[in-house]
Amino acid sequence: MSNNIPVFDDEFNTKLENLFKWRRDVRRFKTTPVAQKDIDYLLNIATFAPSVGNAQPWRFVMIEKPETRQLVMDNFDNSNEDALSGFDGERASLYASLKLAGLKNAPVQMAIFTETKPDEGHGLGRMTMPETLQYSSVLAVYSMWLAARTLNLGIGWVSILDPKKISSDLETPNSWAFTAYLCIGYPEEEHIDPELVRHGWQDRTHLDGKVFYK
Amino acid sequence: MSNNIPVFDDEFNTKLENLFKWRRDVRRFKTTPVAQKDIDYLLNIATFAPSVGNAQPWRFVMIEKPETRQLVMDNFDNSNEDALSGFDGERASLYASLKLAGLKNAPVQMAIFTETKPDEGHGLGRMTMPETLQYSSVLAVYSMWLAARTLNLGIGWVSILDPKKISSDLETPNSWAFTAYLCIGYPEEEHIDPELVRHGWQDRTHLDGKVFYK
């Protein structure tokens, strides 16, 4: 034990609760540049995420070249067109009206991959559930997402992408699994309600019918 | 925009950084009971996690009956024995010496499942990456993990479990995927370094060789 053990008081907890609520999936970005020190801060915060066996399997690919960004945009456009074709009638119109990614404007873009065969961790904790490696990367993503909001930065997670295509476009190692694509920048607007609630796609369901006892 | 948009100052950010660092995977629990209001608080916080298409696919199963807990312990013991047999020599001795779960003492235990065919979200965002449903549940887990630490509660994520066996033991619906098992309670001790670092299993690797530019 040490005297440096932090104490989290009610004031902090209220603010933390606000952070959970105001952390939003952002798709509308200003083109204002983001300071390199802020990106470095987020990446550093990511390294404190929990990981299975302490394998720290996250790999961060900063997508910077215009031609690389174009490949990602093409990937999104194709995947989104396929997705739209799966809806009919009003749902299709509503889907088509949604803004689902900020790929055109977000000044910082980052792909997160997971090393599925890391030496680190020596396999501990993942024999029966190898997917916990990807889960570890997801925890790193959420760490950045929360920390970004405190810097007034927004993050949007784009999942409407073909993972095989992005892996081949980025020429990543075979053992890397594509896990997440993040758009990062200053948001055009702030909301406490998710964009998909605000635009009538899907309401919050709270805990209704989700807690069981065994 | 509204005047209620929260502002996160440097003092909050320093404490948040401490929270990321002091949130630990806890395996050594006191048997002190946890107040129901604290569990309710954590579950409520979980519902503010981001989820793909706002599908909110997390399902929380409180493991309360002694016979149910015994099934989980048996599952862990069998899975851990299998895992141990995969190591040789010093690694095997070290593995055998590690405390990898707090299943005996943790007063609160919770299994998190993911509804893989939710109506909610209407399929948005997960056509090319269906695993983002499980990732959404992982984000709910991390929300609870961070919030728990501010209440001086520790959480340990047990992944050395056979997911098929836990699903059949708990008789969960076929469309549910087992995602995480959490031990929750007051920790016996507080550390800033992960247990696996302290006991010589795996050091932190920071960002070394993990950031790329394309």
Cβ–Cβ gap A19/B1 under 8 Å: no
Going by DSSP bridges, is the β-strand pair B154-158/B108-115 parallel, antiparallel, or unpaired?
A: unpaired
Up-side HSE of residue B92: CA atoms within 13 Å toward CB?
Answer: 9
Cβ–Cβ gap B127/A86 under 8 Å: yes
- Whose tokens are 């065994």? That residue is A214
DSSP code per residue over B115-173? ESS-STTTTTT-SS-TTHHHHHHHHHHHHHHHHHHHTT-EEEEE--S-HHHHHHHHT--
* Shortest CA distance from A188: residue in chain B: B1
Q: What is the pLDDT of residues B178-199, one digit of tens each?
A: 999 999 999 999 999 999 999 9
* Shortest CA distance from A25: residue in chain B: B50
Asked if residue A196 belongs to a domain, the reply is: no
Asked if residue A64 belongs to a domain, the reply is: yes
Asked if residue B65 belongs to a domain, the reply is: yes
Q: The domain that contains A39 carries what CATH number?
A: 3.40.109.10
Q: Please, which residues 151-210 of chain A have a Cβ atom closer than 8 Å to chain B? A: 151, 157, 159-163, 170, 179-180, 189-190, 192, 194, 196-197, 201-207, 210
Round the average pLDDT of chain A to a whole number and report it: 96
Asked if residue B61 belongs to a domain, the reply is: yes
**pTM score of the predicted model:** 0.98
Domain that holds residue B75: 25-193
Q: What is the pLDDT of residues A166-182, one digit of tens each?
A: 999 999 999 999 999 99
- Whose tokens are 């699994």? That residue is A177
Quick check: helix, strand or coil at residue B182? strand
Cβ–Cβ gap A16/B145 under 8 Å: no
- Statement: residue A1 has pLDDT above 50: no
**Interface predicted TM-score (ipTM):** 0.98
Asked if residue B125 belongs to a domain, the reply is: yes
d(CA B140, CA B151): 17
| Nearest by CB: B159 against A23, A125, A214 | A125
Asked if residue B208 belongs to a domain, the reply is: no
Reported confidence tier of residue B4, pLDDT bands at 50, 70, 90: confident
Q: What is the pLDDT of residues A46-65, one digit of tens each?
A: 999 999 999 999 999 999 99
Cβ–Cβ gap B124/A211 under 8 Å: no
Asked if residue A145 belongs to a domain, the reply is: yes
Counting one residue from A and one from B, how many pairs have CB atoms under 8 Å apart?
261
C-alpha distances in angstroms, A14 versus A9, B6, B12, B147? 9, 11, 11, 11
Q: Please, which residues 17-56 of chain A have a Cβ atom closer than 8 Å to chain B? A: 17-23, 25, 43-45, 47-50, 52-56
User: Mean pLDDT, to the nearest integer, of A109-118?
Assistant: 98
Looking at beta carbons, which residues of chain A come within 8 Å of B162? 128
d(CA A202, CA A196): 6
* Residue A86 touches partner B, C-beta closer than 8 Å: yes
* pLDDT at res. A173: 98
d(CA B77, CA B68): 14
Q: What is the pLDDT of residues A128-180, one digit of tens each?
A: 999 999 999 999 999 999 999 999 999 999 999 999 999 999 999 999 999 99
Reported confidence tier of residue B116, pLDDT bands at 50, 70, 90: very high
Q: CA A85: distance to chain centroid?
A: 25
d(CA B23, CA B141): 13
Structural domains of chain A, count: 1
- Statement: residue A101 has pLDDT above 50: yes
* pLDDT at res. B3: 58
CB-CB contact of B16 with B131 (8 Å): no
* pLDDT at res. A3: 58
DSSP code per residue over B16-56? HHHHHHH--B---B------HHHHHHHHHHHTTS--GGG--
- Statement: residue B1 has pLDDT above 50: no
* Shortest CA distance from B197: residue in chain A: A54
Asked if residue B198 belongs to a domain, the reply is: no
Task: Give percent of chain B above pLDDT 70.
Answer: 99
For residue B15, give the H/E element and its range: helix B10-22
Q: Which three-class secondary structure string do you get for B63-94?
A: CCCHHHHHHHHHHHHHHHHHHHCCCCHHHHHH
